[in-house]
């Protein structure tokens, strides 16, 4: 019995040593990653959760699984209303994160998630990059995207409505593909109509995301779009 009691302190030390990484290292990694993601996405609204049963995995630069969400983020000057990402088996440079607060992933088994961009955010981008005069407005509906408004053609104010879709190009860009054009005045020559359509084709670059993710598909919803993202580098 006395021998058993002499083992109790040893067992207590072992338990404490096993628990230290989970109690100390896990919060440090979570805080470091949240800070790095918040800086990269230009937002303070980041929520990160990491699953690491023992905690020692993190010291070796391995994250078994994580999920994070962010709101009111900015990517390439475009406001992202919501970001949601889930990841499995991520390897990172631990000392770079611990010392400098920089997230550097070296390998990722799987990343999936989504981005949501509102109609208002798309309009702000469109006015800044394509239509500074704000003569036209983007409208997002489940059946697609419309560019609508009034433009001046041959000294005539003409109501136009350009219908199309946002599609993924090269894994990092959203491109507006025109499907149809409706104008108030049918006397406008077909060649001029084609020029008008091409004038309002635009692309949204979303290449500088803080994780190795690529755009995969766009879903048009009412007054917003949802972009599915993923990565398996």
Tens-level pLDDT at each residue, the chain (233 residues): 455 555 445 444 444 445 555 555 677 778 878 888 888 899 989 998 888 776 777 778 888 998 999 999 999 889 999 999 998 988 888 777 777 767 677 888 888 999 999 999 999 999 999 999 999 999 999 999 999 998 877 777 888 888 899 999 988 999 999 888 877 765 566 666 677 777 788 999 887 777 788 899 999 999 999 999 987 55
Residues 65 and 86 in one domain: yes
Domain ranges, residue 55: 2-110
Final residue before a domain boundary, out of 73, 90, 110: 110
What confidence score (pLDDT) does residue 72 get?
94
Within 10 Å of residue 175's Cβ, how many Cβ atoms?
Answer: 16
Final residue before a domain boundary, out of 74, 93, 110: 110
Residues 131 and 101 in one domain: no
What confidence score (pLDDT) does residue 142 get?
96
């Amino acid at each position: 019995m006395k021998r058993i009691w002499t083992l109790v302190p040893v067992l207590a030390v072992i338990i404490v040593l096993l628990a230290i990484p989970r109690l100390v290292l896990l919060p440090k990694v979570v805080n470091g990653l949240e800070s790095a993601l918040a800086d990269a996405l230009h937002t303070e609204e980041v929520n990160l959760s990491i699953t690491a049963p023992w905690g020692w995995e993190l010291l070796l630069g391995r994250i078994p699984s994580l999920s994070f969400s962010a709101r009111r983020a900015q990517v390439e000057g475009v406001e992202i209303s919501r970001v949601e990402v889930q990841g499995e088996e991520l390897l990172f440079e631990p000392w770079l994160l611990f010392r400098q607060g920089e997230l550097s992933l070296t390998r990722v088994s799987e990343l999936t998630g989504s981005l949501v961009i509102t109609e208002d955010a798309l309009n702000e981008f469109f006015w800044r990059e394509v239509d500074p005069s704000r003569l036209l407005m983007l409208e997002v509906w489940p059946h697609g995207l419309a560019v609508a408004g009034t433009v001046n053609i041959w000294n005539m104010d003409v109501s136009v409505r350009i219908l199309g879709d946002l599609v993924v190009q090269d894994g990092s860009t959203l491109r507006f593909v025109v499907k149809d054009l409706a104008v108030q005045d049918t006397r406008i020559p077909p060649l001029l109509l084609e020029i008008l359509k091409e004038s309002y084709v635009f692309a949204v670059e979303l290449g500088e995301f803080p994780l190795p993710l690529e755009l995969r598909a766009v879903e048009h919803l009412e007054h917003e779009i949802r972009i599915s993202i993923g990565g398996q580098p």
